[in-house]
Structures are given as C-alpha cells and as structure tokens.
Amino acid sequence: MTLSNRQPGVVLTDRVFTVPLDHERPDGETIEVYGREVVATGKAGENLPWLVYLEGGPGCQARRLIGAQAWLERALEDFRVLLLDQRGTGRSTPANRQTLPLRGGPREQADYLAHFRADAIVRDCELIRRELTGGAPWTVLGQSFGGFCAVNYLSTAPEGLAAVLITGGLPSLGATADEVYRAGYPRVERKVAAHYARYPQDVARARAIAGHLAEQGPLTLNGGYRLSVEAFQSLGILLGIGDGSHKLHYLLENAFVRTPNGPALPDTFQEEAQAALSYAARPLYAVLHEAIYAQPGLATRWAAERVRGEFPQFDAEKTLAGEAPLLFTGESIHPWMFDADPALAPLRETAELLAARTDWPGQLYAPEILARNEVPVAAVVYHDDMYVDTAHSLETARAIRGLRTWVTDEYEHDGVRADGPRVLDRLLGLVRGEL
C-alpha cells in the first residue's frame, strides 16, 4: 500500500522498490531501495517531470527536509521530486554493524558491500525511473558523491537523462585514491590557516587540547568514542562546510573545566565532539569511502593514511614538540577510526578486506562516451572546495561535452544546502540555455 502524508505546502508519498543486489544477476538476491516522492500541494494531480536527488556520501540517506525547505522550494516549481535513500542507507535495506552479520563473516560482508558503489546506485535508478516515469527520462540532481553517481549515469545510461545538475561533485575521471588524497592535504592546510586567521585564539586552544590528550592518553568520551590526538585533528572535517569554521571555534572555546583532578574536557565538549566524529548514523561513509575512488586491479590500501606520511606538517607529535599551529585533517578515513568509533569497530576486518580488494568491476566513468555527451549538464564548482579537488573537477568539466560550469567562491561544499533555491535556479538556467 502506498502511503501519503502532508506537510506545509507539500504532499509526501513513500515509494519502495525491489532491485537486484547484483545487477549482473537480475534473477538473484534482491534488496529494497526507498524513495520519498515530494510534490507541491497545488500540483499533486499534475503530470510533472521527475527530478531524482542523489545525496552526498557515500552512505548517506537523503536529507529529511520539512515542507519545501532549502533547494526543494525551487525544484517543486517545476518537478515532482524523488528523494532517494541510496542502497544501504536510511529506509533502504540497511547495511551497518547490526545487520551485516546476517551476511556471514567479514569476507561475506565485504563481498556484499562491493555492490554498493556508484555503478550499482545508477542501475537502481534506471530500474526505478522506468517504473515511475513509464520510460521518460528524468533530471538528476547530484550533491557531492551524488555528482559522482551522476557522472557514472552519463557514462552508462545517458538515454535515461533529461538533464543533469551537479553541486560540488565533479570527480576525477581517472585519479587513483592516492592522487585524490595527495591533492587533498594541501587544501586542508589552507582551510586550517584560514580558520586560524579568523580565530587566532584557537591556535593556543587546539595545541592545549592536543597536548592534554597526548599527555593523558586517549579519552573515552561519554558515548564510547575513543578521542585520541589524531581523532581530535579529524574535527577539521568541519572546515569544508559554510559554517564549519564557526562550529569548530565554538567547540574549542568550551574545551576545559577545572576539576579536583586538574583540567578536564567537559561533558559539553565531549558530546559535541562525539556528534561530529561518530559514524554511527552513516557507517557506510567510513567503510566505503576510499572504494569510491578504487580502480580495477588496484587496491586503495588505506590511501589517506599512507599519503598523510608525505605531509609531515600534519604530525601532531612533531608539532607539539615545536611551536607551529596544530593542523587539523579533513575528509579522510583512517584505520584507527575503526578502533575509536564503537559503531565502526565490528566492521574493522570488513573494511580491511575492502581496502585490499582489487577485483572491482570496470571503470566507473567512460571518457569516450562523455566526450560525445548530448545530455544538458551544469555543475557548480566551489573554488578551493575542501572535499572535491577543484582542478580535478574542472578537468572533468572539460572532458564532458557541453557541460556548463559555474565556478564560485561564495560557498563552501554545502552551497546547495546553504542557498539552495539560488544555486538550483542558476543550474537550471544553465542547462536550459537561459544564462
């Protein structure tokens, strides 16, 4: 039974689709993929074109918007929208520490999760599109990793696309995971420098917190997360979003309280740090993160951890022995996270197997098809985006025939959330030739 609800200005309808786990075996095991249909109240009975939204990640459910929030306000002027919980996330068949043991041991879990990359997500979309639209092409809006999926879509099933809109998600077509992170650490260093220029008092605060953790040893937070110096540094992931620098500052300014046993990190700091660091709500983000860059025949082998060694300025021990500001790190996944985070600890061996995996299917992107592209495509590229390398994005933009870019430093990586109606309106204008 299809269930519909109303929120201010919109009608929401639950959609559940059955898709093959392995699209190469369409008669084999199946999983469910959930989508939330959204349409403006006054247009619920109209025959509108469809727009499917692909969230960032990997491993993140579609955002739970209320009414016509954010970019949805603009989208609902023209479209019936499908907010897709990509396989393994949200209300789709879940994949996490609680459910994955149903598959068997770590080897079986890793084999299962190998079917959760962009190529499988796109093939899910094609099955869903044909069921919803009767075969008519639809528009895709891809945020971050959702943009990676959109480029795979353009490479493998362009006939299903009326237009593609990408926000902060133009991937390199051929870079290895090592090359992605080698380009990433300098960007992170620039973001940290900008943060300290904005909040110079945070230089001393960050050094004090790191020094406390180095001296006392890792602290088990109230929620069970093991906060080491490296884990503290990884709070730099906040610096890639529009208000992230301010959030990090407010977190640091509440770092210490006096106790009978000396200075300590208070409960408020612990709660906020755990919320920022834990992957309990999106474990696949950690487990599959480097796999989104995996090339056939080549293991990622914890690329972010290995490449970090090429940038000694991120070594906290050396920093604390001198006088330099402590550098935070950014969007990178490391083996120690599977020891620090209770939500990831049961998946440590599974993650190790995925990091060592070489038998990935064919290339995610097809440059020869993209060079002949006929689908209208527009992408906003955020200047010095901390999460997706700008140079890689612009190189890919040049490789996709007809793609129009909007390069801006008005926003960080979350521009479509910070100013969604304006961002989406401009992208629609670009694909429609209005700008």
Domains annotated for the chain, with CATH where assigned, are: 4-174+363-431 (3.40.50.1820), 177-356 (no CATH)
* Residue 106 predicted with pLDDT over 70: yes
pLDDT digits (tens, 9 = 90+) for 153-203: 999 999 999 999 999 999 999 999 999 999 999 999 999 999 999 999 999
Instruction: Determine what percent of the chain is predicted with pLDDT higher than 90.
Output: 95
Q: Which residues are catalytic?
A: 144, 359, 413
Residue in 384, 362, 352 with CA at minimum distance from that of residue 113: 352
Q: Which two tokens stand for residue 415?
A: 């521009």
Tell me, yes or no, if the pTM score tops 0.85. yes
- pLDDT in the model for residue 237: 97
**pLDDT band at residue 295 under the 50/70/90 scheme:** confident
Q: What is the spatial distance between Cα 38 and Cα 95, in angstroms, rounded to a whole number?
A: 25
pLDDT digits (tens, 9 = 90+) for 323-364: 999 999 999 999 999 999 999 999 999 999 999 999 998 889
**pLDDT band at residue 3 under the 50/70/90 scheme:** confident
H-run or E-run covering 378: strand 377-382
H-run or E-run covering 151: helix 145-156
- Cα dihedral 220→221→223→229 (10° resolution): -80
H-run or E-run covering 406: strand 404-408
C-alpha distances (whole Å) from 364 to each of 69, 154, 227 are: 32, 10, 36
Residues comprising the chain, all counted: 435
Where residue 101 falls (left for φ over 0; alpha for ψ -120 to 50; beta otherwise) is alpha
H-run or E-run covering 16: strand 10-20
Q: What is the spatial distance between Cα 382 and Cα 376, in angstroms, rounded to a whole number?
A: 20
pLDDT digits (tens, 9 = 90+) for 7-54: 999 999 999 999 999 999 999 999 999 999 999 999 999 999 999 999
Q: What is the spatial distance between Cα 231 and Cα 225, in angstroms, rounded to a whole number?
A: 9
* Residue 1 predicted with pLDDT over 80: no
Q: What is the spatial distance between Cα 11 and Cα 405, in angstroms, rounded to a whole number?
A: 33
Q: What is the spatial distance between Cα 183 and Cα 175, in angstroms, rounded to a whole number?
A: 10
